[in-house]
């Protein structure tokens, strides 16, 4: 199962739908793009700035995420020239119907490269692009 950065954050920081996504990924192999490494850190800092989490919660979340990456519980797909070319191709395939952002296109390209389906995202644009591209998607929480 391929997770975008926002879903990864939900697994390490309590959010309203964290429990749903925790159950969804339980027992599944999990992958994401290497961009999630920086995206995850950025999201934690943003949550701390917004006072949604404390500094200690940020530290614990980051340590747990890194441990999962180091133990390869979460496989981070490296970005290669082929990934960037694929992302450009996906951007063009989605144009003009979906205003896909560059990092979202890179996530979709990495997911397609590794073929670790389904794609798990709550981002409306990524979901719309995935549907257009016929990428298998996980359900959303109700």
Domains delineated in the chain: 2-133 (3.40.50.1010)
CB neighbours of 80 closer than 8 A, spacing ≥ 6? none
The reported pLDDT for the residue numbered 141 is 86
Cβ partners under 8 Å of residue 92, min gap 6: none
Helix (H, G, I), strand (E, B) or coil at 136: coil
Q: Say what the pLDDT of residue 88 is.
A: 98
Mean pLDDT of the residues in the chain: 97
Q: In whole angstroms, give the CA distance from residue 76 to residue 110.
A: 9
For residue 23, what pLDDT band results from cuts at 50, 70 and 90?
A: very high
What pLDDT, on the 0 to 100 scale, is given for residue 111? 97
Q: Quick check: 142 pLDDT over 80?
A: no
């Amino acid at each position: 199962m391929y997770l975008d950065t926002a879903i990864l954050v939900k697994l390490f920081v309590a959010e309203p739908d964290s429990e749903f996504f925790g159950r969804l990924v339980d027992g599944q192999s999990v992958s994401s793009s290497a961009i999630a490494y920086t995206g995850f850190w950025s999201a934690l800092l943003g949550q701390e700035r917004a006072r949604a989490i404390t500094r200690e919660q940020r530290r614990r979340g980051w340590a747990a995420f890194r441990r999962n990456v180091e133990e390869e519980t979460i496989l981070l797909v490296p970005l290669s020239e082929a990934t960037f070319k694929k992302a450009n191709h996906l951007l063009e395939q989605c144009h003009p119907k979906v205003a896909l952002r560059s990092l979202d296109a890179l996530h979709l390209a990495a997911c397609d490269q590794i073929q670790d389906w389904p794609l798990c995202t709550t981002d409306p644009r990524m979901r719309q692009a995935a549907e257009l591209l016929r990428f298998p998607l996980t359900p959303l929480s109700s």
